[in-house]
């Protein structure tokens, strides 16, 4: 096969973004950053790669497996291409800003995954996120949810639903058990799949330390999903362990303060990275999961500052894929020429925010991303904008 025949092919689940979609993504990026700024969030830009131990320490095996690794030709040390931006923002909060009070930080940039986290997804998401450090109260959790919802509403997403859970429920039920990371991962997978047979077998195989009430509570989690009635059922079905009771009360409070949006619960849902430490949420709309977030108080501990933290992130590429395409951008067509008055008129229009496309000789009938609904025409010695015929 000739070398040129495959030179243009990209790796699996890596793709170019073409003009119409790229414009949509960029418009949403600006919109989301402006929305975050309206809440008081400051923009940070962490590097795409850094030393692997800094990138992954404390984040769990799942993120390690998602991370591309390479050797730095300058130092000989192993580097990682970030698969998630939150650990980097935690490092910035802990070591570079080092503020004693609240820090609100947002970001938007590419992340890379060794494998896509769902069928047909890209391995190069464009991750937007916002995080609040330094406040342990539920007000921070609620602010993260509200900002995520406001971003999605501004993007035109309708029929939004927030699904909530709390990782402390499962952690409290399993607190006395002696189990390794592999067993815990299998338990989480069985809970996510609602696989009662597999979960029962895994719990039976534990070497001890888990009470019969905790085992029954774990099995009950498989049925504890739905509307707010789930929280009442959970109070009856789950043992009154401190972590379980606090988690249920927090979920009640968050649900009661949720904005005008549908709320549901799935108390067996533990999806996401290992650094979540409390209430977590996923936001659905357009038939897909669009954003994910929650509380992750431990994420900065490895950097020497164990600060309270909550936030969310989403993939702009995935969001654009489920939204209706944008209409063509309105523009003004102008003839190409050396006339000083013509060029001055074009400059004024562009300075006022208009898109002006100069039609090069011989290309009068070409179609591109712009809808030239007006044209610049010479009338009585003046260049004026008029509707295009």
Q: Check the CA dihedral 56-266-175-184 and report its sign.
A: negative
Residue among 331, 349, 320 at smallest CA distance from 27: 320
Token pair of 2, please?
């000739």
Q: Is there a binding annotation on residue 273?
A: no
Q: Is there a binding annotation on residue 350?
A: no
Give the other-Cβ count within 10 Å of 262's Cβ: 12
Contact 274, 61 (CB under 8 A): yes
Q: Report the run of H or E that residue 27 belongs to, with start and end.
A: helix 19-38
Q: Is there a binding annotation on residue 318?
A: no
d(CA 134, CA 215): 35
Looking at residue 261, the DSSP 8-state letter turns out to be S
Token pair of 38, please?
């309206």
SS3 call for 127: strand
- Kindly compute the dihedral angle of the four CA atoms of residues 357, 362, 367, 368, in this order, to the nearest 10 degrees: -50
Q: Is there a binding annotation on residue 85?
A: yes
SS3 call for 179: coil
Q: Is there a binding annotation on residue 127?
A: yes
Q: Is there a binding annotation on residue 158?
A: no
d(CA 379, CA 371): 23
DSSP bridge pairs for 96 = none
Contact 309, 132 (CB under 8 A): yes
Query: Distance of CA 386 to CAs 328, 374, 383, Å?
Result: 19, 6, 10
Q: Is there a binding annotation on residue 114?
A: no
Q: Residues annotated as binding site? A: 84-86, 127, 131, 271, 275-276
Q: Residues annotated as binding site for L-histidine? A: 84-86, 127, 131, 271, 275-276
């Amino acid at each position: 096969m000739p070398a040129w025949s495959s030179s243009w092919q990209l790796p699996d689940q890596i793709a170019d973004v073409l003009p119409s979609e790229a414009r949509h993504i960029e418009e949403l990026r600006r919109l989301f950053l402006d929305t975050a700024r309206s809440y008081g969030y400051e923009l940070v830009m962490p590097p795409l790669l850094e030393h692997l131990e800094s990138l992954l320490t404390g984040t769990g095996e799942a993120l390690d497996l998602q991370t591309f690794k390479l050797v730095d030709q300058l130092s000989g040390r192993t580097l990682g291409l970030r698969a998630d931006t939150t650990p980097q923002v935690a490092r910035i909060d802990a070591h570079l800003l080092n503020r004693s009070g609240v820090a609100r930080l947002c970001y938007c940039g590419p992340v890379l995954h060794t494998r896509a986290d769902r069928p047909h997804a890209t391995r190069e998401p464009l991750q937007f996120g916002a995080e609040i450090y330094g406040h342990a109260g539920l007000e921070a959790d609620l602010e993260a949810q509200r900002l995520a919802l406001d971003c999605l509403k501004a993007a035109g997403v309708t029929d939004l639903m927030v699904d909530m859970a709390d990782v402390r429920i499962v952690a409290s039920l399993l607190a006395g058990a002696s189990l390794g990371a592999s067993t815990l991962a299998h338990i989480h997978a069985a809970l996510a799949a609602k696989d009662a047979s597999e979960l029962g077998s895994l719990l039976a195989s534990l070497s001890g330390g888990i009470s019969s009430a905790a085992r029954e509570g774990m099995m009950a989690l498989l049925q504890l999903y739905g509307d707010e009635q789930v929280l009442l059922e959970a109070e009856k079905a789950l043992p009154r362990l401190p972590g379980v009771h606090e988690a249920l009360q927090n979920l009640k409070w968050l649900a009661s303060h949720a904005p005008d949006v549908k709320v549901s619960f799935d108390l067996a849902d533990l999806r996401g990275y290992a650094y979540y430490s409390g209430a977590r949420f996923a936001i659905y709309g357009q038939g897909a999961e669009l954003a994910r977030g929650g509380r992750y108080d431990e994420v900065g501990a490895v950097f020497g500052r164990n600060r309270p933290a909550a936030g969310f992130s989403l993939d702009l590429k995935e969001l654009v894929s489920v939204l209706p395409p944008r209409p063509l951008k309105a523009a003004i067509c102008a003839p190409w020429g050396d006339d000083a008055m013509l060029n001055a008129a074009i400059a004024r229009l562009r300075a006022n925010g208009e898109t002006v496309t100069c039609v090069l000789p011989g290309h009068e009938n070409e179609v591109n991303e712009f809808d030239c609904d007006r044209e610049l025409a010479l009338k009585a010695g003046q260049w004026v904008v008029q509707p295009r015929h």
